[in-house]
Amino acid sequence: MTTGIEAVEINIMGRVYKLSCQAGQGAHLHSAATELNETLTQMRQRSRSSNNEQLAVMAALNFCHELALEKNKNRQYSETMDQRIRMLQATIEEALKEQGRLLQR
C-alpha cells in the first residue's frame, strides 16, 4: 500500500489547480475533475450563464444532493440487511433450540 502525499495538477474550466492528495489517488482526482468539467460544461450550455462561480455553486449543490440520496439509499440498505441478519439469527437459534429438544428425548 502506497503512503504519502503526491502533487496533482487538474484543469477545471480552463484553469489549472495544483492540489495535494494521498499517493495513488491522483487518478481518482483527475477522474473527479473530468466529471466536474463535464457537468459545468453541460450546465453552462443549458443556462447560458458565463458566471463560473454561480455554475460551481450549482454543480456543488447538485453533487451534494446526489451524495445525500446515495447516503440515504445506503442507510436504508444497511438497515434492511441488519433486519434480515437478525431474522436469520433468530431462525437459526430457534432451529438449534428445537434440535436440542429433539436430541434430549
Q: What is the pLDDT along the chain (105 residues), one digit of tens a residue?
A: 557 999 999 999 899 999 999 999 999 999 999 999 999 999 988 887 778 889 999 999 999 999 999 999 999 999 999 999 999 999 999 999 988 888 887
44 and 89 share a domain? Answer: no
Task: State which amino acid sits at residue 53.
Answer: E
- Closest C-alpha among 17, 63, 71 to residue 40: 63
Domain that holds residue 95: 52-105
> Is 104 found in the same domain as 78?
yes
Give how many domains the chain has, as a whole number.
Answer: 2
Note whether 44 and 56 are same-domain residues.
no
| Residues 70, 84 within the same domain | yes
Q: Which residues of 19-53 are buried (b: 16+ CB within 10 A; e: fewer)?
A: eebeeeebeebeeebeebbebbeebbeeeeeeeee
- Tally of CA atoms within 13 A in the half-sphere of 34 that contains its CB: 6
Are residues 59 and 41 part of one domain? no
